[in-house]
Amino acid sequence: MFISVPIRDFKDLILDIAPHLGKDTTVIDVCSVKVYPVTVMTEALPDHVEIIATHPLFGPDSISRPDGMTIMMNATREVHGKFSFWKQYFESKAIKVVEMTPEEHDRLAAKTQGITHFVGRVLKDAGVGVTEIETLGFKELLAVIDQTCYDSWDLFTDLQNYNPYTTSMIETLESAIENVRSKILRRN
């Protein structure tokens, strides 16, 4: 059973379905954060339910890209041996499988997906947009804005609020901005 709901609705859904899951059930989540859903599933789902945590690092806006797709996987609770089946299935579809812990995932995701979405929203909020004199680098920034702001505000806030490492990422980014700014001001 694949679970694909907004992160903020994840716990309620898991609590609703938990009493109804049979002995051969495997639950696979596809949340963009991992520590939170894994904690919810391991606490709420019966011991006879196999749990596989995944994060497909592609979506409707990137699935057709020619540079390949990647999925993060974690065998959170192995009961029925389904992890190897799903890993082989994804690999057979030319999807690169990266195995890691939920903590490793969220730490890296804060520095990749989290910062990308954060910067995209900040740039849009700053009024960055199309001009008549765009460099290639600027066009790539516009693509980041378009790609990240295409997603819902709820997804953005869930990515930031449910990943335990994003607060630190934002603080590091703010510090780096201030550091670069102070270097510029010292030159004047």
pTM of the entire predicted model: 0.91
What was the pLDDT predicted at 61? 66
pLDDT digits (tens, 9 = 90+) for 84-111: 999 999 999 999 999 999 999 999 999 9
DSSP-assigned letters across all residues of 136-178: HHHHHHHHHHHHHHHS-HHHHHHHHHS-TTHHHHHHHHHHHHH
Three-class secondary structure of residue 120 per DSSP: helix
Res 62 pLDDT > 70: no
pLDDT digits (tens, 9 = 90+) for 2-42: 999 999 999 999 999 999 999 999 999 999 999 999 999 99
Res 187 pLDDT > 90: no
What was the pLDDT predicted at 70? 96
* Domain extents in the chain: 2-100, 105-187
Three-class secondary structure of residue 99 per DSSP: strand
Average pLDDT over residues 156-163: 97
Res 66 pLDDT > 60: no
CA distance 80 to 96: 23
pLDDT digits (tens, 9 = 90+) for 95-153: 999 999 999 999 999 999 999 999 999 999 999 999 999 999 999 999 999 999 988 99
- The pair of three-digit structure tokens given for residue 116, joined into one six-digit string: 């990308």
Report the percent of the chain where pLDDT is more than 70: 96
Q: What crossing angle do the helices spanning 115-125 and 153-161 adopt, rounded to 10°?
A: 130
Inter-residue contact 37 to 72 (CB < 8 Å): no
Architecture per CATH, 2-100: 3-Layer(aba) Sandwich (3.40)
CA distance 26 to 51: 6
Q: Count of CB atoms within 10 A of residue 99's CB?
A: 13
Measured between alpha carbons, how far is residue 83 from residues 50, 66, 87, 95, 131 in Å?
Answer: 9, 27, 6, 15, 49
Q: How confident is the model at residue 63 (pLDDT cuts 50, 70, 90)?
A: low
What was the pLDDT predicted at 72? 99
Q: Count of CB atoms within 10 A of residue 103's CB?
A: 14
CA distance 126 to 109: 24
Res 68 pLDDT > 90: no
Measured between alpha carbons, how far is residue 107 from residues 51, 76, 79, 162 in Å?
Answer: 21, 17, 27, 12
pLDDT digits (tens, 9 = 90+) for 31-48: 999 999 999 999 999 999
